[in-house]
Amino acid sequence: MSLDSIIQKIPGVTKPVEKQNFKVRIRWTLIILVLYFFLSEVYIYGINQQQLSQLAQLAALMGASFGTLITLGIGPIVTASIMLQLFVGSGMVKWDMATHAGRAKFQGTQKLLAYLFTIIEAAAYTFLGAIQPVDFAPLTIFLIIFQLTLGGWLVILMDE
């Protein structure tokens, strides 16, 4: 299975068929903002909420709200972007960014990496103690990782 075929299967937001006017773009921006604020108020099931204030400064830096569905914030997106730019810029990955095909491959790979980093960061936050479960039952840990991943994927889609 090639990278291009994987990139085509990644969920994403399609571009509009026709150019959107200013009112429509403002409306969608407001809808995304309301959804983001709503997600920042929905706490994850199964976490110890007493330890959440420890990482408040990190949360402000990452555009996150610890203990909620948007705990990961834009971290996976930024990490994927920086890593891929370093690989392409250093010549480790040889893509011609001057062509449409090269830019499309870059953006698709960046999105794929963001989805993967969301899973990795959700597991890391849970297993390394940034988000502490109420109990360490496997189901609770799985549910926390699942909720963090789902919230991270929603942030990726909202970013598009």
Structural domain contains residue 55: yes
| Spatial separation of the C-alpha atoms in residues 33 and 142, rounded to whole Å | 28
| Spatial separation of the C-alpha atoms in residues 99 and 95, rounded to whole Å | 9
Q: Is the pLDDT of residue 77 over 90?
A: yes
Range of the domain at 26: 20-159
Structural domain contains residue 6: no
Q: Is the pLDDT of residue 63 over 70?
A: no
Least confident stretch, 26-40, 58-72, 137-151: 58-72
Q: Helix axis angle, 100-127 relative to 75-90, nearest 10°?
A: 130
Structural domain contains residue 70: yes
Q: Is the pLDDT of residue 109 over 80?
A: yes
Distance from chain centroid for Cα 136? 25
Q: Which residue has the higher pLDDT, 89 or 64?
A: 89
Structural domain contains residue 92: yes
Average pLDDT over residues 4-14: 83
Domain count, the chain: 1
Structural domain contains residue 8: no
Structural domain contains residue 37: yes
Q: Is the pLDDT of residue 2 over 90?
A: no
Say what the pTM is: 0.86
Average pLDDT over residues 73-88: 94
Q: Is the pLDDT of residue 107 over 80?
A: yes
